[in-house]
């Protein structure tokens, strides 16, 4: 039986003007932005719609922006009885996936996303680090490079995004050493990423403390559909397990290639990228050329899908 799979984007999918067309067209979007503004304590819609870009790309703003955008689209689809049989989200997107699966309510998820963004920003300032993308090496070779570069500073594979494309994360010295080693090993492309810290590495350990306390206070229901989690790439519906994985996620790699492969093995055939941008649609094409993801992030895309 074919199954509908929702994919939810993470950081780097934001853009100035995001969700403005949804806000102008649907009262539900206006209501959710109003609720978000009250909880966040700043005018999220103003930054989403008009920028400045430097403000929108701050981790503490980006994360709520992408979550709210994705949640609005999820709710608009649900109103037309389009809901997921399985869901997954890339890093931050896992919170959107949990909300879509009924594990987290909107306010509870947004409160966690707010804290996550703030905690990651603080951890990035306390333990300066960065990330880099390595293209054209096998994952095993990249992990070997990271082990060797770890003598110089903290560094590990952070995002297994698509075959031949892995992001690494760590200290400035560790990343610099790993980039040089990857070039020497014959990587096609090695490029630093413009990020606010060493995400999905041990340098984010400080962010876990406050987040763990908030997770403990938050109610997680069992999922209406399985959520394929970043940490294991496996499907999970148990609320307690999903909560535990969110804590581990901050310092663990995102196993996106395995996640998508496991969704396909689990019967996923109709993929929707729900939220801003088309990053995950591009990754799906590279992971398995037989499948395409329909992007559903703008009013036009939503109307086209519903018609």
DSSP structure string for 222-287: PPSS-EE-TTT--EE--HHHHHHHHHHHTTS-B-HHHHHHHHHHTTEEEEEEESSSSHHHHHHHHH
Task: Tell me the backbone φ, ψ of residue 248, rounded to 5 degrees.
Answer: -65, -30
Q: How far, CA to CA in Å, does 44 sit from each of 67, 160, 200, 274?
A: 11, 30, 25, 19
Close Cβ partners of 70 (under 8 Å, ≥ 6 residues apart): 8, 9, 93, 96, 274, 275, 276
Compute the distance between CA of residue 213 and CA of residue 50 in angstroms, rounded to an integer: 34
Strand pairing class (165-171; 129-135): antiparallel
Domains of the chain: 3-124+202-306 (3.40.366.10), 129-193 (3.30.70.250)
| 152 close to 186: Cβ distance less than 8 angstroms | no
Which is the catalytic residue, given 13, 70, 91, 201? 91
Measured CA to CA, the distance from residue 219 to residue 50 in angstroms comes to 34
Contacts of 151 (CB under 8 A, 6+ apart): 177
Residue 291: the pLDDT is: 97
Residues in a beta bridge with 162 = 165
Assess whether 69 carries a catalytic annotation.
no
User: What is the rounded distance in angstroms from the CA atom of residue 201 to the CA atom of residue 252?
Assistant: 6
| Pair 185, 198: CB distance under 8 Å | no
Q: Using alpha carbons only, what angle is made at residue 156 by residues 66 and 8, rounded to the nearest 5 degrees?
A: 20
- Tens-digit pLDDT string for the chain (307 aa): 789 999 999 998 999 999 999 999 999 999 999 999 999 999 999 999 999 999 999 999 999 999 999 999 999 999 999 999 999 999 999 999 999 999 999 999 999 999 999 999 999 999 999 999 999 999 999 999 999 999 999 999 999 999 999 999 999 999 999 999 999 999 999 999 988 899 999 999 999 999 999 999 999 999 999 999 999 999 999 999 999 999 999 999 999 999 999 999 999 999 999 999 999 999 999 999 999 999 999 999 999 998 8
Alpha-carbon distance of 14 to 93, in angstroms, equals 12
Name the DSSP letter for residue 202: G
Catalytic residue among 90, 200, 201, 252: 200
pLDDT of residue 1: 74
Burial code (b: 16+ CB inside 10 Å, e: under 16) for 112-137 equals bbbbbbbbbbbbbeebebbbbbbeeb
Q: Which residue has the tokens 């608009």?
A: 76
- Rounded CA gap, 215 and 250, in Å? 13
């Amino acid at each position: 039986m074919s199954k509908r799979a929702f994919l939810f984007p993470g950081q780097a999918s934001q853009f100035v003007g995001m969700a403005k067309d949804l806000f102008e067209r649907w009262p539900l979007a206006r209501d959710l932005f109003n609720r978000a503004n009250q909880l966040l304590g700043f005018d999220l819609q103003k930054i989403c719609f008009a920028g400045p870009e430097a403000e929108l790309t701050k981790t503490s703003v980006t994360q709520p922006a992408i979550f709210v955008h994705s949640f609005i689209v999820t709710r608009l689809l649900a109103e037309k009885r389009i809901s997921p049989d399985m869901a997954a989200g890339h890093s931050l997107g896992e919170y959107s996936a949990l909300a879509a699966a009924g594990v987290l309510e909107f306010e509870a998820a947004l409160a966690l996303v707010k804290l996550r963004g703030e905690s990651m920003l603080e951890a990035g300032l306390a333990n300066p680090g960065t990330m880099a993308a390595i293209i054209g090496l096998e994952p095993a070779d990249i992990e070997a490079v990271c082990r060797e570069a770890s003598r110089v500073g903290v560094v590990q594979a952070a995002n297994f995004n698509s075959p031949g494309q892995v992001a690494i994360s760590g200290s400035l010295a560790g990343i610099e050493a790993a980039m040089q080693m990857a070039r020497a090993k014959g990587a096609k492309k090695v490029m630093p990423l413009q990020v606010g810290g060493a995400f999905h590495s041990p340098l984010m350990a400080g962010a876990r403390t406050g987040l763990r306390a908030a997770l403990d206070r938050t109610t997680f229901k069992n999922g209406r559909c399985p959520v394929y989690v970043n940490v294991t790439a496996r499907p999970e519906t148990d609320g307690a397990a999903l909560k535990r994985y969110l804590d581990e996620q901050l310092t663990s790699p995102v196993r996106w290639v395995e996640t998508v492969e496991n969704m396909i093995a689990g019967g996923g055939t109709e993929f929707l990228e729900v939220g801003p941008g088309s990053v995950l649609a591009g990754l799906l094409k590279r992971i398995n050329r037989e499948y395409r993801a329909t992007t559903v992030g703008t009013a036009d895309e939503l109307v086209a899908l519903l018609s």
